[in-house]
C-alpha cells in the first residue's frame, strides 16, 4: 500500500511506471537522472494537489501489484 510518507526513491524502485503516472499529474520524481529526495506528500503538496486523491489513485492503480510480489 502506498502512503504519503513513502520516499520517492522507494516508490520508483517498487512500482514500475509510477514515474509516468505521476508526471501525467505534473509531479516530477527525477531530476538530473536521480530520484528526488522527498516524500510523496512533499512533492504533491509542492504542486498544490490533493495528497489523499493522489494516494487513492495510486493505490487503485497498483492494488494488485503487491499481490504479485508475494
Looking at residue 41, the DSSP 8-state letter turns out to be H
Across residues 34-56, what is the average pLDDT?
Answer: 91
| Separation of alpha carbons 70 and 66, rounded Å | 7
Mean model confidence pLDDT for the chain: 87
Residue 45 lies in a domain: yes
Residue 2 lies in a domain: no
Residue 39 lies in a domain: yes
Structural domain containing residue 19? 8-69
Q: What is the pTM of this model?
A: 0.82
Residue 1 lies in a domain: no
Residue 3 lies in a domain: no
Number of domains within the chain = 1
Residue 16 lies in a domain: yes
Looking at residue 28, the DSSP 8-state letter turns out to be -
Do residues 15 and 62 touch, judged by C-beta distance below 8 A?
Answer: yes
Residue 44 lies in a domain: yes
Residue 20 lies in a domain: yes
Amino acid at each position: 500500500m502506498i502512503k504519503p510518507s513513502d520516499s520517492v526513491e522507494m516508490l520508483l524502485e517498487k512500482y514500475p511506471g509510477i514515474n509516468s503516472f505521476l508526471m501525467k499529474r505534473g509531479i516530477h520524481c527525477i531530476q538530473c537522472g536521480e530520484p528526488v529526495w522527498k516524500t510523496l506528500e512533499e512533492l504533491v503538496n509542492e504542486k498544490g494537489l490533493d495528497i489523499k486523491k493522489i494516494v487513492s489513485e495510486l493505490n487503485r492503480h497498483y492494488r494488485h501489484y503487491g499481490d504479485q510480489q508475494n
